């Protein structure tokens, strides 16, 4: 006689609970970006995840070349693609991708005073952008970056590139500035030297002018990302310590609020590197963090402690809650991707399946908060319906 499936999963659930193997699973599942050289190389650094969009993770990695030069990569699903370099160059880096997967970065040769801007379209190939360092691209294809000033070696100005036409966005009185990110309205953020040629302030460039974003009472600041009317970066406090900061703007681009995001416990410095809605990620005391609703948490506390990762910088977050960054995996520098665990994935294996069903059935009628998916105070039929709806 065949044993009913329900009996099998109930038995499995009882075994899992009684064995003590069922514990609170991590909030995120972590994936090693690997390298263009392969997953097991001992070369370090190996890879850096720098930009995240709905369709791709981009960055740079060592290659299989004899000198292991860095090449830009694009990761779509599990496919890691070497984006290559412009003719005559040796290395490349990708900084950002838009929702379609179009990617921007630089191609260069070590020792060059200026890099060459590159667009790697999602459809393939590459487009030389000239003497510009592109740092971000929006869904309309506008690019924020820095152009190199003719006749002033090593000097650059923030710029906006729209349909092939580049606009010099200027400075706050000093010789140089950098454009680092933009939103869907082509508002660009970055930093600029002041007239004293020593101090750097975060800047917003919008149609009609620029806004000095100021500091948290100290001397300097830098704006690193923008989402809608929210800008993040870091700014010096009165104690001369850089802290992660969020600037809130109005529709005219004026600052209406400035929030010191603080630091992780025991750390004295922090920097916000990316924002999506009300979620912010960055680094504090050389540990990656996520900030939400006034609370900063160490992302190392949200992954499986047995994974042998130390997450040092969270460089990107998207609207689905995925986070990318840089860390040490088995002691080697690697890019990572954090994916929020489905609440019904009780065993934290990345799928919702029979083992999770067994655990829920094993806790049927209890008040176990982890198994109570609809938070009504008891594990029952509605929780089962939620689990089955999430079945992988």
Q: Which of 15-19, 56-60, 198-202, 211-215 has the lowest mean pLDDT?
A: 15-19
pLDDT at 19: 31
The pLDDT-based confidence of 65 (bands split at 50, 70, 90) is confident
Mean pLDDT of 10-17: 39
Question: Is 91 or 13 the better-scoring residue by pLDDT?
Answer: 91
Q: What is the full DSSP assignment across 59-119?
A: EEEE-SSTT--EEEEEEETTEEEEEE--TT--EEEEEEE-TT--EEEEEE-TT-SS-EEEE
Tokens of 62: 């060592």
Mind listing the pLDDT tens digit for each residue in 255-288? Answer: 999 999 999 999 999 999 999 999 999 999 999 9
Mind listing the pLDDT tens digit for each residue in 107-149? Answer: 999 877 789 999 999 999 999 999 899 999 999 999 999 998 8
Mind listing the pLDDT tens digit for each residue in 233-261? Answer: 999 999 999 999 999 999 999 999 999 99
pTM of the model: 0.89
pLDDT at 64: 84
Q: How far from 119 is each of 5, 48, 104, 105, CA to CA, in Å?
A: 53, 19, 5, 7
What percentage of residues in the chain have a pLDDT greater than 70? Answer: 93
pLDDT at 309 over 90: yes
pLDDT at 23: 65
8 Å CB contact between 279 and 319: no
Question: Is 300 or 22 the better-scoring residue by pLDDT?
Answer: 300
Strand partners, 339: 29
pLDDT at 183 over 90: yes
pLDDT at 5: 37
Mind listing the pLDDT tens digit for each residue in 333-392? Answer: 999 999 999 999 988 888 999 999 999 999 999 999 889 999 999 999 999 999 999 998
Long-range contacts of 152-155 (CB under 8 A, 24+ apart): 153/113, 154/113, 154/114
pLDDT at 14 over 80: no
Mind listing the pLDDT tens digit for each residue in 82-103? Answer: 999 999 999 999 999 999 999 9
pLDDT at 9 over 60: no
Closest CA to 309 of 287, 340, 342: 287
Task: Provide φ and ψ at 348, rounded to 5°.
Answer: 65, 30
Closest CA to 14 of 333, 346, 309, 364: 364
Q: Taking all residues of the chain, what is their mean pLDDT, rounded to a whole number?
A: 91
pLDDT at 68: 81
Q: In 3-state terms, the chain is what percent helix, strand and coil (to 5)?
A: 10, 50, 40
């Amino acid at each position: 006689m065949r044993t009913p499936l329900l009996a099998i999963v109930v038995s499995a659930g009882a075994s899992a609970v009684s064995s003590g193997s069922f514990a609170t699973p991590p909030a995120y599942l972590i994936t090693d970006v690997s390298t263009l050289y392969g997953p097991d190389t001992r070369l370090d650094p190996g890879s850096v995840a720098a930009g995240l969009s709905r369709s791709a993770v981009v960055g740079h990695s060592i290659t299989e070349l004899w000198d292991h030069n860095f090449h830009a990569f694009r990761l779509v699903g599990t496919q890691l693609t070497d984006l290559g370099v412009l003719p005559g160059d040796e290395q490349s880096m990708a900084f950002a991708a838009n929702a379609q997967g179009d990617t921007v970065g630089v191609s260069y040769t070590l020792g060059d005073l200026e890099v060459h801007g590159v667009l790697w379209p999602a459809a393939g190939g590459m487009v030389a952008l000239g003497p510009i360092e592109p740092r971000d691209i929006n869904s309309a294809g506008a690019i924020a970056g820095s152009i190199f000033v003719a006749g002033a070696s090593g000097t650059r100005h923030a710029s906006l590139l729209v349909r092939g036409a580049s606009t010099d966005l200027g400075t706050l009185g000093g010789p140089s500035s950098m454009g680092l990110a933009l939103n869907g309205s082509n508002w660009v953020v970055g930093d600029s030297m002041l007239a004293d040629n020593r101090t750097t302030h975060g800047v917003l460039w919008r149609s009609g002018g620029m806004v000095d974003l100021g500091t948290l009472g100290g001397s300097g600041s830098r704006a690193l990302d923008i989402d809608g009317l929210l800008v993040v970066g870091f700014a010096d406090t009165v104690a001369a310590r850089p802290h992660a900061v969020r600037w809130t703007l109005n529709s005219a681009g004026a600052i209406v609020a400035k929030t010191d995001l603080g630091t992780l416990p025991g750390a004295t410095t922090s920097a916000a590197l990316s924002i999506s809605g009300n979620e912010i990620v960055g680094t504090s005391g050389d540990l990656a963090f996520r900030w939400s609703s006034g609370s900063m948490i160490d992302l190392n506390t949200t992954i499986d402690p047995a994974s042998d990762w130390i997450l040092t910088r969270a460089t990107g977050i998207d609207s689905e809650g995925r986070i990318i960054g840089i860390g040490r995996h088995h002691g080697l520098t690697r890019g990572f991707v954090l994916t929020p665990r489905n609440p019904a994935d009780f065993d934290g294996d990345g799928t919702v399946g029979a083992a999770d069903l067994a655990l829920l059935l094993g806790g049927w009628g209890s008040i176990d908060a982890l198994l109570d998916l609809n938070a009504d105070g008891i594990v029952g039929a509605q929780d089962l319906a939620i689990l089955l709806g999430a079945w992988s």
